[in-house]
């Protein structure tokens, strides 16, 4: 039987690795939106209920919600303030878009719609994994062990010190809050992702 702490560590490693990819993709999508013709073309569409993508079937309002969510994810990892909002609802709107455009507005708009759809799919899976980790963390009293250790103390079964583990669980908690319409504590979560690259 696998030790519960090892199970939690492995799940945290999986999640934090995925969140590193989420950070880079959200940043890229946000950048492409503002540097391409997408911002002008989508911005010019009226009303907000008009379809703007063919494949992902997104209305203008859903597309903009996706860009807003990417901005929030980018800010979350870059130590910037994140506005509290129902990002999970934004994700649901993108996943279940049902209003296809007759034709592409541009390659950039269509590509961004697909990239947002894929990113959001990953974020929802990551949210479920984060929730699972937090339940296991508490159920196996790893939170109690974490409280009594010093930052440089080796954390049993995690093969790293308490500071790295603590940073990881904080990232898990705050990502869950971000996606669940709760207030988020600003932090350098990109650094946490980098620290966890060394955890085996």
Buried b (16+ CB within 10 A) or exposed e, 106-120: eebbbbbbebbbebb
Q: Would the pLDDT of 160 be above 90?
A: no
Q: Would the pLDDT of 145 be above 70?
A: no
What is the average pLDDT across 118-130? Answer: 97
Which DSSP symbol is given to 160?
Answer: E
Dihedral sign for Cα 29, 34, 37, 40, please.
positive
Q: What are phi and psi of 159, to 5 degrees?
A: 60, 35
What is the average pLDDT across 105-112? Answer: 98
DSSP of 93-156, one letter per residue?
HHHT-----SS-S-HHHHHHHHHHHHHHHHHHHHHHHHHHHHHHHHHTTHHHHHHHS-TTSEET
pLDDT for the residue 149? 62
Q: What percent of the chain has pLDDT over 90?
A: 78
136, two tokens: 């296991």
Q: What percent of the chain has pLDDT over 70?
A: 90
Q: Tell me the pLDDT band of 95, cut-offs 50, 70 and 90.
A: very high
The torsion of the CA quartet 146, 150, 152, 154, rounded to 10 degrees, works out to -50
Q: Tell me the pLDDT band of 53, cut-offs 50, 70 and 90.
A: very high
Mean pLDDT of the chain: 91
d(CA 115, CA 11): 25
pLDDT for the residue 113? 98
Q: Tell me the pLDDT band of 162, cut-offs 50, 70 and 90.
A: confident
Which DSSP symbol is given to 37?
Answer: T
Query: At how many degrees (to 10) do helices 4-35 and 189-196 cross?
Result: 130
- C-alpha distance from residue 29 to each of 48, 67, 148, 198 (Å): 20, 8, 41, 27
What is the average pLDDT across 81-97? Answer: 93
154, two tokens: 């080796």
Q: Tell me the pLDDT band of 148, cut-offs 50, 70 and 90.
A: low
Q: Tell me the pLDDT band of 143, cut-offs 50, 70 and 90.
A: low
pLDDT for the residue 194? 95
The strand pairing partners of 161, in sequence order, are 154
The strand pairing partners of 160, in sequence order, are 155
């Amino acid at each position: 039987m696998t030790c519960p702490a090892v199970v939690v560590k492995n799940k945290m490693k999986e999640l934090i690795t995925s969140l590193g990819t989420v950070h880079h993709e959200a940043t890229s999508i946000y950048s492409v939106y503002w540097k391409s013709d997408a911002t002008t073309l989508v911005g010019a569409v009226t009303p907000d209920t008009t379809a703007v993508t063919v494949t992902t079937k997104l209305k203008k309002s859903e597309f903009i919600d996706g860009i807003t969510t990417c901005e929030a994810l980018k800010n979350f990892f870059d130590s910037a303030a994140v506005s509290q909002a129902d990002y999970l609802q934004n994700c649901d709107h993108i996943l279940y878009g049902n209003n296809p455009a007759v034709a592409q507005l541009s390659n950039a708009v269509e590509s961004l719609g697909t990239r947002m759809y894929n990113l959001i799919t990953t974020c929802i899976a990551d949210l479920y994994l984060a929730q699972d980790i937090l339940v296991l963390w508490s159920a196996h009293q790893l939170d109690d062990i974490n409280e009594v250790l010093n930052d440089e103390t080796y954390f049993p079964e995690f093969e790293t010190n308490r500071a790295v583990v603590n940073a990881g669980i904080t990232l898990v908690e705050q990502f869950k809050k971000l996606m669940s319409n709760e207030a988020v504590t600003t932090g350098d979560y990109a650094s946490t992702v980098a620290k966890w690259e060394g955890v085996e």
